[in-house]
Amino acid sequence: MTTMRRLALDLDSPVLAISSQNRQHQGEALLQSLEGTSDLEYSADSITFLVNVERPASQGSYTHPDDLISKSRSVSINLRKNRFGEIGSRMVKFFPATGAFDEETVRRPYGR
């Protein structure tokens, strides 16, 4: 992690590190779910989790490839660490066929 942080500073550019999650907290937006040592949690300026909210992690991870391409799904983007500002969450739709994200809209009954 020290090398990645030094690279970011030398290039004056962000560096994106992708981490898997440990089995105990898989599918949860918790800093302690990052796999391996705590170096990533300590060194990062911000940590963001993408969580599939339509299927709990306990139901397994296999999805038929056709389902991934043809459908959108709800994803929660969770900013859990931010040295320079606020943290929070936002629901978005993810479209696997294009790799695009779009904000979800809240549907309200007519007249409200």
Query: What residue spans define the domains of the chain?
Result: 2-103
Chain segment 35-51, per-residue pLDDT in tens: 776 777 888 889 999 88
If you write DSSP's letter for every residue of 2-71 in order, what string do you get? HHHHHHHHHHTS-------B-GGGTTS--GGGBSS-THHHHH-SEEEEEEE-SS-GGG-S---HHHHHH-
For tokens 């940590």, name the residue: 47
pLDDT single digits (tens) 34-90: 877 677 788 888 999 988 886 545 555 556 666 656 678 888 899 999 999 999 999
